[in-house]
Structure 1
Amino acid sequence: MAAIAFTQTHIYTKRAGPKEKDKYCIQCLERFDRNIYVGTKDSMVQHLTLAQAQAQAQAQAQDQARECRTRKLGPNSPIKQLRTLPLFNHLLVLWEQCVTALNMFSLEPIPALKAIQHTSCMEVCPRSSSSSTPKTPCRPEGDCVELITSSSRRKVVRIHTVWVDRWEVLREVSLPQDPVSLAVDGSCVCVATSDRYHLFDYHAGSTLELFPHDRSRHQGAILVPTGGGEFLLNAPGSLGMFVMSTGTCQRPPMPWPQEVLAAAVCFPYILALQPRGLSVYSLLDHMLKQTVTLDGARGLVSGPEGVLVFTDRQIWGLSLVPLQEQIQALVSCQRLDEAFFLLDGVQSHLQPHSYEELHKDISYLAGVDQFNQQAFAEAKDLFIAGNLDPREIISLYPDMRPCLGEEDFVSRYVETAGQKVRDLPRLQREDAVAYQLYLAFLADYLAIVRAMGWGGPREAVDCALLRVYAEQGGAGEAESLRLLVASPNACRLDCCVSVLEHYNRYFVLGMLYQSHGNHIKAIKTWVKIADGHFEDPCCPDVYEHVVSTLTTQDIDVVWMFAEWALQKNQEVGVQIFTKRQQDNNDHNTEEILKFLKNYPQAYLLYLEFLINEQKSETESHHTELVLAYVIQTLQAFSGQDEPPEAGETRRKLQDLLWSSMSYDVIAIHQRIRATRLHVERAIMLGRSGDHTQALRVLVHEGRDPHAAQAYCHRAAQDWSHVSGPQDEAGLRRTLLLTLLTMYLCSDELAGEALHLLRDNTRHFPPGRVLELLPGSWSVGLVCRFLVGSLRETLHQRRMGALQRALAHAECLRHKVLWTQASKTMVKVQRGQMCQACQKELTESFICTVRGELLHTSCINTQNH
């Protein structure tokens, strides 16, 4: 197979002795670090040591293990098991149904440890005495190891605690049948009896009976701990069952061949030994990954880096190929799904950096495969999931090399996938429609990478994204391009300016200058667009954009473009002064006013801004605005026999004359004295207190009865802000009587007097009016006024009576509440707090109608 899991090496061969009959035959193995212990058929224990790593490469043709010591235990009886206790440098030997302890290096017996008799099998589980087993009164503290043995005479399994100089039995677990073999994982022991498996936890004291097994002459019970409280057992039907310590299965059974002699786990693989070879299965998907031919194999021993397999006279090593190399081999063979599956399965056994690099490699190759097939959604997901450097994708596109920067970017995938990536330069020349699809993918992918905040060089991403948006040219891409340069970006000017100029994206070019802090150059670019020097098909109203931008710039920048902005449009251009953040600098204000003198409309708008929004009380500002209104109003009068009665400018003028107290009255009066602005003259006379003269101007010069009547109401209303509602009514009554007297003095104005009475019935005192009316007027003329006046008087009287009744009822309601509250008992507990000051009630207090307790001194602070 192109991708292999294990490599086979020769470890040791026992050379035939000089005697005719050499009975040497390996029965079992045990390994610790570079030490290998061999148990033979003729009761011999042999110690081998592996060569150093640097010497193994020079000894491929000869044994990699050398013989150190050998010890003959007794008569020719096979050694069944060997187990090491590195904590104490002990080697446990199961021989002739006894467990004997030897020194790991000298192979000398340990006198203090007497043999454990009548033992059929054993397993070691090293643990700390303080954390692994319960403490007993007779058991001293110290490091210890737990040993599990099965009895050859009784149906029990014993748990021993082994110290450096003794061991003792902690407990026994009874079984329904004689134990045949066992395996240990933590405190859980899996035991095979003559026909089935059993699980028991010797700490929790729980026992569980499992399924039967096929134990025959050719195949025994197989028990292999896989880690995490899980065991691999051989079940009927040539199946490998994965059973948890709880008795449940979290993986499906694994089919394996007939006559499996032994099995071992070397993550992420399971090795099944057969008479003529060894099969390697994946622990992740249970598929066969590799086969190794080994004639006459008898058993195997697993380790962290591989497996030792032995025959009668030889020992072979199967070293696990590093997981990174396995994954890279699968990637090289384009078996990407297998590579992904293996990588995810072994993630916990890899360094984070190694996992990330491998994931990038697989993601890139798998994404390129989808990329070539135009499966862009799948390719994008793979590139993003692999946290791929986006420059790898950018480098695939023609004309994108400048986006990668001055430093040459070297792709890590050129050699592995360079010949397998679609030829985009050729596609650009031959099929423009298909190439646009690839451009759309690049834009979508880079936009997502940018939004995710990729930690690499952002210049390449932003420059490439800008180029793609500019090249595509659609309405959606134009908006995306503006959003890109409007936000904080890392676009390089040396790369992006020429691109935007080539595709006539001058408005975006100005935004790019602005995002890099070059505001003057940005505004100059937009000015050229507004003046027609540049053509931009995707440009909005650039003039208003320039004005809006100037409102946020320093005053020095504003003066550079102020004349251009006002020459284009005074009404919009003045916003560069009115909508900018004001610094309350009088010098700047006067300088602006001086500049705006040449732009009348802008000048007037700026004065309105100072008075209405900035609330300026400067006399010159108010006077200048009034004069500007007067000039505009008089210009509207030109060519007309009669001045217009309504107009926005004149309305503003009259409102300002009424409301402002800061303008120069003399200067304004001199300006309008010889004009037809009678209403304005009357307002100014009224502001000086000469209401009679103001009414004469309106009645005799202006001949405007409506304006005279409106003047009475407006003057009284303005006076009420100073003297109150009562004085307002009195002043209105006085002004109306004065106006009525003027009308009655002239026979021509008698009709206006009658209209005045009818329109203001409620404001005229009937007695006073009757005194002023000429005796020649009939009752019929003033009947309407008299009826209305009487009705108003009666209405006011009834309303007054009703208000008095309501006030009396409200007073009675408060008296009832006060009476009820005064009869209620109030329970005050120790530590009760005042609701107002939150201090203890240690002085006089009251209870409000709401039930709140307050100090008498706190009543005024609460609105009760």
Structure 2
Amino acid sequence: MSVKAFKLVSAVEREMLMGDKNFINIECIECCGKNLYIGTNDCFIYHFMLDEKVSTAGKITFAATKQLHKYLGLKKPVSELKAASALTRLLVLCDNTITLVNMINLEPVPTGARIKGAVTFTLNENPVSGDPFCVEVCIISVKRRTIQMFMVFEDRVQIVKEVFTPEQPCAVAVDGYYLCLALTTQYIILNYNTGVSQDLFPYCSDEKRPIVKRIGRQEFLLAGPGGLGMFATVDGISQRAPVHWSENVIGAALCFPYVVALDDEFITVHSMLDQQQKQTLPFKEGHILQDFEGKVIVATNKGVYILVPLPLEKQIQDLLASQRVEEALVLAKGARRNIPKEKFQV
């Protein structure tokens, strides 16, 4: 039995992005408030404003208005985008270099500040510096078995730490001083301040894409062996039972109380409260699934969609109507404990 927890709504259709140019593909996305940024394989960044509209019947749609697009001039794909709204900066990874651009006009900062030699990067959402006018950036370096930590300001960058790993890292998430790393054969937690590391569990990155996602303070979600979505704290323990994914999950996102996963055919929704699968949405050719401040966005090579959560009160009413009282109680209890009252009420 399923719960209708989310509805899939189109946000940016292919005509808005590429017209009749079939060779253009979406490589990455970033969303900050109403600002949606899309990086493409032909070295462009597109900026859209997303407006949510609610009909009298309660149906939610999104209207995307294109603001501008910018060619980076490198003839390489834009690999990753991350917004640093406090600095009005967008961090852009292209050709192993992270460039700082203005979030509004997409122009590079006049100082030309950049981080070179990055394979991938992430932001520390639980920063340790205490400076509100800087963001902490963690990169997997092109140097073998090397992680680097940077402080990024409005117009300059500063390296603060270089950490060597026992194997080649291929994915990373950060919380405070803790790095959660997918290495070649295992996941580990590494405190980059003390150098102390903790093995989590084995994993073969050659066979499957690793997933490492920070889901809350000192807690991560990982793609484990046997198609399991595993939870791990910075102490190397799991406080929740795993969720059962398919073997070929390529992305995961969090929208409490749900964990959302993407494979090559479906979007699946599991509850973090009882680990049960609650919803399956057919979705072919998806390759990006991310959450941004509670907004879950999924994309194919050609279009962007938003998973709109149904009000929890409606979900609880539907469960009760289906005589699934126990599930309704678990959801109501979990929702009231973890979600602000105004979000819970319709």
- Structure 1's 43 and 328: CA in aligned 2 closer, same or farther, altered over 3 A? same
Q: How far off its partner does 1:285 sit?
A: 1.3
SS in 2 for 1:87: helix
C-alpha separation in 2, matches of 1:184 and 1:76? 31
Asked whether the 8 Å contact 1:214–1:235 carries over to 2, the reply is: no
User: Quick check: 1:340 aligned with 2:329?
Assistant: yes
Contact 1:2 1:333 in 2 (8 A): no
- Is the CA contact (8 Å cut-off) linking 2:115 and 2:157 kept in structure 1? no
- Residue 272 of structure 1: which of 261, 275, 280 is its match? 261
Q: How does 1:652-671 map to 2 (within 5 A)?
A: none
Equivalent of residue 175 in structure 1, options 152, 165, 175: 165
- Residues 214 and 234 of structure 1 are in contact (CA less than 8 Å); yes or no, is this contact kept in structure 2? no
State the shift of 1:316 in Å. Answer: 0.9
Aligned partners of 1:231 and 1:243 also within 8 Å: yes
More strand by share: 2
Amino acid at match of 1:22: N
2:22 counterpart SS class:
coil
Matching residue within 119, 134, 150 for 1:144: 134
Residue of structure 2 equivalent to 1:787: none
1:28 corresponds in structure 2 to 28
Q: Which amino acid aligns with 1:101?
A: L
Q: For the structure 1 residues 303 and 323, does the alpha-carbon distance in structure 2 shift closer, same or farther, using more than 3 Å as the test?
A: farther
Q: Does 1:6 align with 2:2?
A: no
Residue 350 of structure 1: how far off its partner (Å): 3.7
When normalised by structure 1's length, the TM-score is 0.38
Residue 94 of structure 1: aligned partner = 93
User: Paired residue for 1:195?
Assistant: 185
Q: Distance in 2 between matches of 1:55 and 1:102?
A: 36
- Say how many residue pairs are matched: 345
Q: 1:213 aligns to what?
A: 203
Distance 1:324 1:200, change over 3 A: same
Q: Secondary structure at the match of 1:106?
A: coil
* TM-score w.r.t. length of structure 2: 0.91
Does the Cα contact within 8 Å between 1:151 and 1:179 map onto a contact in 2? no
Instruction: State the secondary structure of the residue aligned to 2:306.
Output: strand
Kept in 2, the 8 Å contact 1:148–1:157? The answer is: yes
Alpha-carbon spacing, 1:267–1:26, altered in 2? closer, same or farther (3 Å)? same
Shift of 1:351: 4.5
Partners of 2:318 and 2:325 in 1: CA distance: 10
CA distance in 1 between counterparts of 2:101 and 2:340 reads 39
Distance 1:99 1:328, change over 3 A: same
SS in 1 for 2:296: strand
Q: Secondary structure at the residue paired with 2:330?
A: helix
Q: 1:354 to 1:197 in 2, by over 3 A?
A: closer
2:155 — aligned with what? Answer: 165
1:289 CA drift (Å) = 0.3
1:83-122 maps to which residues of 2 (within 5 A)? Answer: 83-122=82-121
Calculate the aligned-residue CA RMSD, in Å.
2.7
Q: Percent identity?
A: 31
Deviation digits for residues 193-241 of structure 1, max 9, x if unmatched? Answer: 2222121123444222332213246x31111112131111112222121
- Unpaired runs of 5+ residues, structure 1, are 135-140, 359-864
Q: Secondary structure at the match of 2:86?
A: coil
How far the C-alpha of 1:306 sits from its partner, in A, is 3.3
3-state DSSP of counterpart to 2:124: strand
> Over alpha carbons, which structure has the higher Rg?
1
1:68 deviation in Å? 1.2
* Structure 2 Cα separation of the partners of residues 305 and 209 of structure 1: 30
Question: Residues 95 and 57 (structure 1 numbering): CA distance in 2 closer, same or farther, change over 3 Å?
Answer: farther
Whether the 8 Å contact between 1:126 and 1:144 is mirrored in structure 2 is no
For residue 17 of structure 1, report the CA deviation from its aligned partner: 5.6
Q: 2: CA distance between counterparts of 1:109 and 1:329? A: 50
Amino acid paired to 1:175: T
Q: Assess if the C-alpha contact under 8 Å between 2:170 and 2:182 holds in 1.
A: yes
Q: 2:241 aligns with which of 252, 255, 263?
A: 252
Structure 1 position 10, deviation (Å): 0.9
Shift of 1:259: 0.7
Q: Summarize the alignment of residues 698-713 of structure 1 with structure 2, pairs less than 5 Å apart.
A: none
Corresponding residue of 2:218: 229
Q: Does the 8 A contact of 2:183 with 2:205 survive in 1?
A: no
Q: Which amino acid aligns with 1:133?
A: S
Partners of 2:242 and 2:132 in 1: CA distance: 42
Q: 1: distance between equivalents of 2:112 and 2:327?
A: 52
SS of match in other structure, 1:39: strand
